[in-house]
Structure 1
């Protein structure tokens, strides 16, 4: 069902939209200077002149615009995102499909209010529109408005959309006090995922990865990362987050060392390098600082998460807290909640710690390791390390008790390759 792909791509795009790669702070002095050498697999130029651009956008090629947005999401390519926005700016078409694409472009700029207004416009004309229902639910999840988000999932009552309704609901339920029981639903969805379109399958796997991270479930994480690709930015982010959470810093460095052009991945690489005492961490931290300076020059406000993360890595605790507070007003996904809690704890801000704790109490947001850190008043950069060490110790004990059985050792080695 091609028409349902647009919201699924947006559900994923919400997670990554603010983490697209931006150029470093280099200002050319003449038209002949090379700004960047594009990758070998870059698509050919779409427009050779302004007139060519206008003539093509007049055709209102919605499929082409959708593909550009998908490329921007999967590969962290801001050029594709810029082309998609330009196409949408030129069109006068007001069809439902165009409004859906405009909503996606708006949310990529964190203009959630405007995006939701367009989606509500669609739903006012067609209350059962599946694309708009899924998209609006995803935006509300990103803002931590879980109850309202779930209400839109439940409006997907078409039997042919059962998979989407289940996945939409399961994502929210796993975040709001039903993490353990909903894993069975997620396992069932993952079992059928290979037969679905790639966008839907990726969405299901990312929901599972988030559930595995928050529940410290090594078995589930192993299953997810064996099934999910490891080449797209969202998949790499999810895999790196799990490895960082259990202290596997060398694996993170190996996984991300060739991805310094992606802001979200660069920040995770820096964290791993700092833990390992890698001298390249300083160089990459400076690179990230240059990119932030560009955002500040452009007065862009869609990068609060990245700026706060950088400030924490640079040990700028007060700045980190301020930026995390600003980001909290925009996004409240798992990464944002952890970020705000970390900044609050490092700054010893009781007011902000209480805000996070109250949010968890009100929404029943489930992340046991984070809740423990908030109760203790301190946070470890490796939330799950203790659980990881205990699991490894248990595996070693089983191996020692069964010297002729090597399955435990094989399992441990396989886990390490994730």
Structure 2
């Protein structure tokens, strides 16, 4: 399971010294003509990609914060606000470059054992996104030690513990939520542990009770609960209910790549590959979604499309290794099982 960052109010450069142009190109994958390996430019002046211009204009929040940051690059309040906005933009646009921008902002504090509190959770979130779970856990433990009422930190810590199958530790994090923060979030936290640790039926009943407590304006939380309901219903064999929950989550007015991934996995398991292709055909910037698209096209016997998606995936994975990124183990294993080749 790849951890999901919830709620999204907080959610890479790796430190290796590649040119900025190369890093951006590798993060984006390949251009329209597929290549067998990432292109390495002959000089730092070579232009590989013209970045989007939608952020132009003085009224854009990112540009306003960037101007403040340039004036005082060590002001932690500005750094935290801009890094958080980068992360939110990267998640919404499925553009990994923004996570790199956020990490770059935090470089003056990246190796500190106790950075300022407003930056520590952001650093943990980026490390979690990069699948660096050991250091993310260390950061999160420090966050909740400093502020036991930090709901986001407890939730993220429980999520990382679930990824590592540390169920007892995850339960302790949920218990801390109940003690220090929110009963509603603690119940949701417990239900996730139960769903993955042999008591999915009870988890489903708990999650059903949580949804009516949310208002229509709480779009992100509603989508989160509906997604979990879909996952849990699928886990206990309630396929029609799972499909209903996933569709309701998709109907919420926001894009969520985790939802798209788990719903695609569900559709593939139900032998409905054409629906996956329709769902994901314009969302190939995200590697996890591209992998599901490749699997669906294979299942639909669309040979040319499968070859195209597989070549693009392999190039993306090579690029990730070149820039020092860690691939999600679950997706690497899924790729190997599906296409019979290790990455």
TM-score range (shorter-chain normalised) is: 0.7 to 0.9
User: Closer, same or farther in 2 for the Cα pair 1:28/1:246, shift >3 Å?
Assistant: same
| Structure 1 residue 310 displacement after superposition | 2.7
2:150–2:181 contact (8 Å) kept in structure 1: no
| Structure 1 residue 207 displacement after superposition | 1.7
SS at match of 1:260: coil
| Runs of 4+ with deviation above 4 angstroms | 30-34, 37-40, 45-48, 50-54
User: Closer, same or farther in 2 for the Cα pair 1:74/1:47, shift >3 Å?
Assistant: closer
Match of 1:27 in 2: 40
Match of 2:141 in 1: 120
More displaced 10-residue stretch of structure 1: 190-199 or 115-124: 190-199
SS at match of 1:228: helix
Which among 188, 194, 199 is matched to residue 209 of structure 2? 188
Alignment map for 1:65-80 (pairs within 5 Å) = 65-80=83-98
Match of 1:225 in 2: 246
SS at match of 1:57: coil
Match of 1:43 in 2: 55
5+ long unaligned stretches in structure 2: 12-25, 31-37
Match of 1:176 in 2: 197
Which among 253, 256, 261 is matched to residue 280 of structure 2? 256
SS at match of 1:67: helix
1:84 equivalent to 2:102? Answer yes
User: Closer, same or farther in 2 for the Cα pair 1:21/1:256, shift >3 Å?
Assistant: farther
Match of 1:294 in 2: 319
C-alpha distance after superposition, 1:16-37 (max 9, x if no partner):
xxxx964231233456755335
1:193–1:204 contact (8 Å) kept in structure 2: no
| Structure 1 residue 55 displacement after superposition | 3.3
Which among 262, 270, 273 is matched to residue 297 of structure 2? 273
SS at match of 1:211: helix
Match of 2:8 in 1: 9
User: How many residues are treated as equivalent by the alignment?
Assistant: 304
Alignment map for 1:403-414 (pairs within 5 Å) = none
**In structure 2, C-alpha distance between the alignment counterparts of 1:39 and 1:215, rounded to whole Å:** 44
Match of 1:312 in 2: 337
C-alpha distance after superposition, 1:197-236 (max 9, x if no partner):
4443333223222212222322322331232136331221
Which among 191, 195, 203 is matched to residue 224 of structure 2? 203
| Structure 1 residue 165 displacement after superposition | 0.9
User: Closer, same or farther in 2 for the Cα pair 1:51/1:69, shift >3 Å?
Assistant: closer
Greater RCO between the two (CA within 8 Å, min separation 6)? 2
**In structure 2, C-alpha distance between the alignment counterparts of 1:57 and 1:142, rounded to whole Å:** 35
1:59 equivalent to 2:59? Answer no
**In structure 2, C-alpha distance between the alignment counterparts of 1:144 and 1:226, rounded to whole Å:** 28
Higher helix share: 1
User: Closer, same or farther in 2 for the Cα pair 1:166/1:72, shift >3 Å?
Assistant: same
User: Closer, same or farther in 2 for the Cα pair 1:138/1:89, shift >3 Å?
Assistant: same
More displaced 10-residue stretch of structure 1: 107-116 or 129-138: 129-138
**In structure 2, C-alpha distance between the alignment counterparts of 1:47 and 1:67, rounded to whole Å:** 11
**In structure 2, C-alpha distance between the alignment counterparts of 1:265 and 1:21, rounded to whole Å:** 15
User: Closer, same or farther in 2 for the Cα pair 1:153/1:195, shift >3 Å?
Assistant: farther
Match of 1:396 in 2: none
TM-score by length of 1: 0.64
Which among 212, 224, 233 is matched to residue 212 of structure 1? 233
Alpha-carbon RMSD across the aligned residues, in angstroms, is 3.1
Which among 115, 122, 126 is matched to residue 101 of structure 1? 122
TM-score by length of 2: 0.77
Match of 2:18 in 1: none
**In structure 2, C-alpha distance between the alignment counterparts of 1:247 and 1:39, rounded to whole Å:** 37
- Bigger Cα Rg: 1
User: Closer, same or farther in 2 for the Cα pair 1:22/1:144, shift >3 Å?
Assistant: farther
